[in-house]
Structure 1
Amino acid sequence: MYWEQLLSTKRQRSSSGKGRYGKNSDLRSEFEKDYHRIIGSASFRRLQDKTQVFPLDKSDFIRTRLTHSLEVSSFAKSLGQNIGENILVYKKDLSFTPQMKEDICSILQCAGLIHDIGNPPFGHFGECAIREWFERNLSCLTYHGQPVDQILTPQMREDLYHFEGNAQALRLVSKLHYLVDENGMNLTYALLSTIVKYPVSSLEINTKSGNIKDKKLGYYLADAELYEEISKETGTCGSRHPLTYILEAADDIAYKTADIEDAFIKGFLSFHQLLEELQELQERYLTGEKNTFLPADKLKELYQVAKERHLGHPEEYAVKNWIVRVQGFLINCATYGFTSNYSAIMEGTYRHDLFHQTFAEQLMDLLGDLAYREVFTSETIYRMEVQEAVMLDHLLERFVTAAIKYDDREAHLNSIDERMILFISSNYKKAYHYHAEGKSEAERLYLRILLVTDYICGMTDGFAKRLYQELKAIV
C-alpha cells in the first residue's frame, strides 16, 4: 500500500471546491472539510445521550459516547503526529511528506469522532441485544406466508445475526445522513476506509484465523458495493487501512483507562484494589526492569505526593493523575508498535494490534479484565442491561413487524403498523426508497429490516426509553 493512494480525497459525490466567482475560495484541506461536516451533524450531537459504560447515568462526570469520541479523536491525532514524525525522521518511507503527516493527523482526528457514531442505544450491550433478537425471531417472522429467514440470502441473514456498530457507522455516514442527497455526509474515501475496522463481510468472519481484521463484520451486504469502491480507490484491497490500527489503539487507550476512572468514581473499584492488581502485574512481568514505566510504583508515588500536599482526597488525586500518566505511556507504546511493524502494516500482512507482545498488552489486558470483573458483571449493570434488553426487544418487535409489510402493495398494514412506520425518520425512509429501487423482493425485504435497525441505532438512550414507555402506555 502507498500513502499517496491511501490518503485519497475522492468522495461519492465530487465537489469542484470553486467559490462564487470561479476561484478556489476555500483554503481548507479535504480532510479538514470532513471535520466540519462531522461536528455539524445531528448524528454526532446525539452521541451526548448515548452510553459509554453506565447507561442512563445522571452524573455529569461519567463519560458518554460523545466525550469518549472526543478523547479517541485527541489520542488518534497525537498518535498520528508521533508516527508521522517518526516516518519522516527515520526515513522509513521516502515517498512520505510533511503534508502527508498533516493529512493523517486530520483523518485520524475525524475518524475518532465517528468511530462509534453507528452504535445503538445502551452501548455494546445494545449491539448484543439486537443480534440476539434476530437469532431468536428471524425464523418466526413471515412474509407472504414464508419464513423471512428462508427468503433472505445467507449473507443477508448473517448480516442481521452479526449486527455490528462498526458496520453501521459506515452505513450512517455514507447513506443515512440524508442532508443534501443519498451520499450521506459525503466524506473522503481515506476517512471511510480508516473507520472500516474489520474489512470482511458477514460470511468471512473468522474468529479463529488469528488475524485481527477477521474478528467481526465490517460492512453489510447493502454497503458492499461502496466498500469495494473505497477499497479499490485507497489500495487496501481487503486489508486494513494502516490508519485503522492507529484508530483502534486510540480507542483502546481511551476506553480502557476511562473505564477504570469511571469505575473508581462510581465506587465499583477502590484505590487499594487497583494498587494490589497493578503490584501483582508489575512483579510478574517487570521484576528487575529499569528505565520502564512501573504502574504500581507510579500510583504509590502519586498517592504520596497527595499526602505530602495534604490534599483532601489523596486516593482520587492519585488515580486520576495515574490515568493521565498511563495514557502517555500507552501512546508511546502504540507509536513503537506501528513504527516497528511498519513494513508488515504497509504490506497488509500485520495480524495484531499495536500493543502485541509488549508490557503494554499485559497492562491493557489487566485494565480490561478489572473493568469487566468489577463493573460489567456487577448486579447494578446487569439490572440496567435487563431493562435495556426489554426495551430494545419491544421496539424491534413492533417496528420489524410493520416494516416487513411496508412498501408492498399486496401486504396490508393495519392501523398500528401504519403509525409505527410513520415514526421512522423520513430521511431514513427516503434513503430506503432510493436504494431499494429496482431491487429483487429479497433485497427489498432485507433493506426494510435494515431500515428498522437504522432507525433504532439513530436513537439516543433517552429517546429509546421514552419511546418504549409511550408504546407501552407507561405514564
Structure 2
Amino acid sequence: MEWTRLLSTKRQRPGRHQDVRSADTDLRSEFEKDYHRIIGSASFRRLQDKTQVFPLDKSDFIRTRLTHSMEVSSLAKSLGQNIGESILAHKKDTSFTPGMKEDICNILQCAGLIHDIGNPPFGHYGEFAIREWFERNLPVLKYHGTPIEELLEEQMREDFYHFEGNAQALRLVSKLHFLVDENGMNLTYALLNTIIKYPVASTQIRPKSGDIREKKMGYYYADRELFEDIVMETGAGNCRHPLTFILEAADDIAYKTADIEDAFVKGFITYHSLRDELRKLQNREKKLAVPEQAEWNRFRPADKLVELYERAKKNGVDNPGDYAVKNWIVKVQGVLIGYATSGFTTHYDEIMNGVYKTDLFADTPAEGLVKLLGEIACKCVFKSETIYRMEVKEAVMLDNLMDRFMGAIIKYDDPAQKLNSIEERLVSFISNNYKKAYRYHAEGQPDIYRLYLRLLLVTDYICGMTDSYAKRLYQELNAIMA
C-alpha cells in the first residue's frame, strides 16, 4: 500500500466548482472539511445521549458515547503525530512527507469522532439484543407466506445475524445523513476506509482465524459497491487501512482506561482492589524477557499506583485513593501511547504490506496491562448484577421496538399488502431522511432486495435513537406513564 493512494481525498460526490474568491478564502484541506461536516451533524450530537457503559446515568462525570468519541479523537490524533514524526525521523518510508503527517492526524481526528456513530442505544449490549432478535425472529417472520430467512440471499441474511455497529457507522455517514443528496456526509474515502475496522462481508467472518480483520463484518450487502469503490481507490483492497490500526489503538486506550475510571467513580472498584489486581500482573510479568523490559520496569503499574497514593497522603489530600486512581489513568495513557507508537513503527512493513494480523499492543510489555484492564472492567462492572439488571430492561425495550416496527415495515412499500392504522402510524415515526434513503436505493430493485432494505430501514431507525428517545418511545407505545 502507498500513502499517496491511502490518503485519497475522493468523495462519492465530487466537489462543486468554486469561484476564485471562494477557493482563495477556504484554505482548509479536504480532511479538515470532513471534521467540520462531522461536528455539525445531528448524528454526532446524538452521541451525547448514548451509552458508553452506564445507560441513562445522571452523573455529570460518567462518559457518554460523545465524550468517549472525543477522547478517542484526541488520542488518535496524538498517535498520528507520534507515528508520523517517527516515520519521518527514522526514514521508514522515503515517500512519506510532512504534509502526509498532517493529513493522517486530521483523518485520525475525524475517525475518532465517528468510529461509534453507528452504535444503537444502550451501548454494546444494544448490538447483542438486535442480533439475538434476528436469530429468534427471521426464521419465523413470513413474507407472502414464506419465512424471510429462506427468501434472503446468504449475505443479506448473515448481515442481520451478525449485526454490527461498525458496519452501521459506514452506512450512516455515507447514506443515511440524507440532507443534500444520497451521499450522506460525503466524507473522503481515506476517512471512510479508516473507520472500516473489518474489511470483510458478513459471510467472510472468521473470528478464530488469528487475523484481526476477519473478527467481525465491516459492511452490509447494501453497501458492498461503496466498499469496493473505497478500497479500490485507496489501494487497501481487503487489507486493513494502516490508519485503522492506529484508530483501534486509540479506542483501546480510551475505553480500557475510562472504564476503570468510571467504574471507580461509580463504586464498582476501589483503589485497593485495583492495586491488588495490578500487583498480580506485575508479579506474573516481572521476568518478562523482552528488550523493552527495562523501560516497563520503570513504570511498574502497581508500584506507580501506590506511589501516587502515598504522595497524596503525604500532601494531605482528602481522598488519596481518588487522587491515585485518576492520576494513574493519565500516566497509563501516556505509556500506552508510547507502546502503540512503537508497535506501529516496529511492524511498519507488515502493516503496509497488509499482512499484520493483530493489534499494536501485541507482543509488547503493555499487552498484559491492556488485557488486565479489560478483565477488571468485565468482572467488576459488566458482569455485575447492577449492569445485568439494566441490560434486561434494555433488551425488553429493544425487543418491543423491533417487534412493532418490523411487523409494520414488512408490509410497507408492498402493493400486495395493506398497513393497518397502527402500522401506518408506526411507519410515520421513522425519520423521513431514512425513508428517503430507502426509496432512493430501492427504486427499480428486485422485490427481495427491497424487503432486505426495509429490514435495514428499521435497524437504521433504531440505531439512530438516543437512549432517552428509545426509552420514551417504548413507554409511549406501551401506554406506560413516565
TM-score by length of 2: 0.97
CA offset at residue 145 of structure 1? 1.1
In structure 1, how many angstroms separate the alpha carbons of the residues matched to 2:362 and 2:389?
35
Q: Which residue of 2 aligns with 1:193?
A: 193
Could you say what the CA RMSD is over the residues aligned between the two structures, in angstroms?
A: 1.0
Q: Which residue of 2 aligns with 1:12?
A: 12
Kept after mapping to 2: 8 A contact 1:17/1:24: no
The secondary structure found in structure 1 opposite 2:436 is helix
The secondary structure found in structure 1 opposite 2:204 is coil
Alpha-carbon displacement from aligned partner over 1:333-379 (angstroms, at most 9, x marks no partner): 00000000000000000000000011211001100000000000000
In structure 1, how many angstroms separate the alpha carbons of the residues matched to 2:341 and 2:253?
12
The secondary structure found in structure 2 opposite 1:405 is coil
Q: Which residue of 2 aligns with 1:291?
A: 295
Name stretches of at least 5 consecutive residues in structure 1 with no aligned partner. none
In structure 2, how many angstroms separate the alpha carbons of the residues matched to 1:20 and 1:466?
50
The secondary structure found in structure 2 opposite 1:203 is helix
In structure 2, how many angstroms separate the alpha carbons of the residues matched to 1:470 and 1:392?
14
Alignment of 1:3-82 (within 5 A): 3-16=3-16, 18-19=18-19, 21=21, 23-82=23-82
CA offset at residue 24 of structure 1? 4.1
In structure 1, how many angstroms separate the alpha carbons of the residues matched to 2:303 and 2:149?
56
Q: Which residue of 2 aligns with 1:411?
A: 417
Kept after mapping to 2: 8 A contact 1:19/1:25: no
2:403 alignment partner AA: E
CA offset at residue 172 of structure 1? 0.1
In structure 1, how many angstroms separate the alpha carbons of the residues matched to 2:271 and 2:341?
29
Q: Which residue of 2 aligns with 1:337?
A: 343
Q: Which residue of 2 aligns with 1:425?
A: 431
Q: Which residue of 1 aligns with 2:369?
A: 363
| Deviates further, 282-291 or 338-347 | 282-291
In structure 2, how many angstroms separate the alpha carbons of the residues matched to 1:247 and 1:362?
20
CA gap of 1:406–1:317, structure 2 versus 1, over 3 A, is same
The secondary structure found in structure 2 opposite 1:183 is coil
CA offset at residue 286 of structure 1? 2.1
Q: Which residue of 1 aligns with 2:262?
A: 262
Alpha-carbon displacement from aligned partner over 1:266-324 (angstroms, at most 9, x marks no partner): 00001101001101111111259533221011001100110111010100000000000
Q: Equivalent of 2:391, from 369, 375, 385?
A: 385
In structure 1, how many angstroms separate the alpha carbons of the residues matched to 2:82 and 2:257?
20
In structure 2, how many angstroms separate the alpha carbons of the residues matched to 1:194 and 1:207?
20
In structure 1, how many angstroms separate the alpha carbons of the residues matched to 2:246 and 2:409?
39
In structure 2, how many angstroms separate the alpha carbons of the residues matched to 1:266 and 1:254?
18
CA offset at residue 26 of structure 1? 1.1
1:155 alignment partner AA: Q
- Asked whether 1:346 is paired with 2:352, we answer yes
TM-score by length of 1: 0.99
Kept after mapping to 2: 8 A contact 1:19/1:26: no
The secondary structure found in structure 1 opposite 2:363 is coil
2:295 alignment partner AA: N
In structure 1, how many angstroms separate the alpha carbons of the residues matched to 2:294 and 2:111?
36
Q: Which residue of 2 aligns with 1:457?
A: 463
CA offset at residue 471 of structure 1? 0.2
Alpha-carbon displacement from aligned partner over 1:438-468 (angstroms, at most 9, x marks no partner): 1111100000000000000000000000000
The secondary structure found in structure 1 opposite 2:25 is coil
| Deviates further, 288-297 or 9-18 | 288-297
CA offset at residue 25 of structure 1? 2.9
CA offset at residue 16 of structure 1? 3.7
- Asked whether 1:274 is paired with 2:274, we answer yes
